[in-house]
Amino acid sequence: MKKIIITGATGLIGKKLSEEFHKSGYHIIVFSRDGKRAKDILKKDYEYIDWDYRKPDKWMDKISESDAVIHLAGINLFAKRWNDEFKKEIITSRRDTTKSIADTIKNSSNKPKVFVSASGVGYYGDGGDQILTEDSPAGNDFLAEVCKVWESEAAEVESAGVRRVSIRTGIVLSPEDGALKRMLLPFKLFIGGPLGNGKQWFPWIHIDDIVGVYIHSILNDNLSGAVNAASPNICTMSEFAKTLGKVLKRPSLFSVPKFALKLAIGEAGNVVLMGQRVSVNKLLSSGYKFKFENLEEALKDLLI
């Protein structure tokens, strides 16, 4: 039985990802700051480890036993209003945990074959209408800096001969959490519409497909480095809102202006207003088959 370590297993992606691997017969090892709480949330027969990234001697043996490590842990970007202190937490929760795992992998006697770490399309900053491949330069805003540091620490395992994949995740669509959940209420109240001017690119991906991308990254030995993860048919924010309104049978008339977003969530509002027109040719060339390429079909599957 193959063993996979997953950090962030109680999150939106982690829950479904651990379930899928478990169904396929894998032994799941959940690294969590509070193993008992994680077990209460997941309610699955996994192995639960109280994980303090600052004390690798407590969990290094589990790294040596594993075939793969998936690192999803990181503080929610929108957990609270951004200030200097919280921005420091955002970076620390990604940089320091990733460095600890990467260093431990490098120092392990038996190394896992692959280390898959989360990242985001925020790596590119606001790309405008430019088509962004994995070779495109990073942006120069705060979130781009977070992603650069995140990926740089993950890449350290490559020096030890371990395959590394950093998933530059788009906007994950799920009614359980994330952008889609937050947009549902305004539409149900007949006041839905795009955020900002609606012209920004909206690199969406169905929750089943982002889970599929992570599984594909573990199983496909030829995939490495940064990988964009979004639908092949991304759209603008305006097109997304219009399609969401169509599926919900509600109008999409009331745009949320930039100043209102900034007033509501501060600097984090800039993230919402940025767009990334990402290419997923690398992912497609590696053999991944999307379940949901069409936005309307994706939204119907999630909401109806």
238-293: per-residue pLDDT in tens? 999 999 999 999 999 899 888 887 777 788 878 888 999 999 999 999 999 999 99
| pLDDT greater than 90 at residue 94 | yes
Q: What is the secondary structure of 124-181 as a DSSP string?
A: G---TT-EE-TTSPP-SSHHHHHHHHHHHHHGGGGGGT-EEEEEEE-EEE-TTSSHHH
Q: How far is residue 167's CA from residue 154's CA, in Å, rounded to a whole number?
A: 11
Sign of the torsion formed by the C-alpha atoms of 245, 249, 253 and 258: negative
| pLDDT greater than 80 at residue 148 | yes
Around Cβ 121, how many Cβ atoms within 10 Å?
A: 27
Mean pLDDT of 41-67: 97
Mean pLDDT of 125-137: 97
Confidence of residue 46 (pLDDT cuts 50, 70, 90): very high
pLDDT of res. 1: 74
Mean pLDDT of 169-185: 93
pTM: 0.96
Sign of the torsion formed by the C-alpha atoms of 220, 223, 228 and 232: negative
Q: How far is residue 40's CA from residue 60's CA, in Å, rounded to a whole number?
A: 24
160 located within any domain: yes
pLDDT of res. 265: 75
pLDDT of res. 260: 81
Mean pLDDT of 187-216: 96
pLDDT of res. 259: 80
Half-sphere exposure of 170 (CA within 13 A, CB side): 30
Lowest-pLDDT range of 18-32, 61-75, 172-186: 172-186
Domain of 17? 3-170+205-230
161 located within any domain: yes
Whether 71 and 98 have beta carbons less than 8 Å apart is answered as yes
Query: What's the structural domain count of the chain?
Result: 1
31 located within any domain: yes
Measure CA 210 to chain center.
8
138 located within any domain: yes
The CA-based angle 100-95-149, given to 5 degrees, is 130
255 located within any domain: no
211: domain CATH number? 3.40.50.720
268 located within any domain: no
Q: How far is CA 15 from CA 8, 9, 62, 83, 86, in A?
A: 8, 5, 20, 30, 25
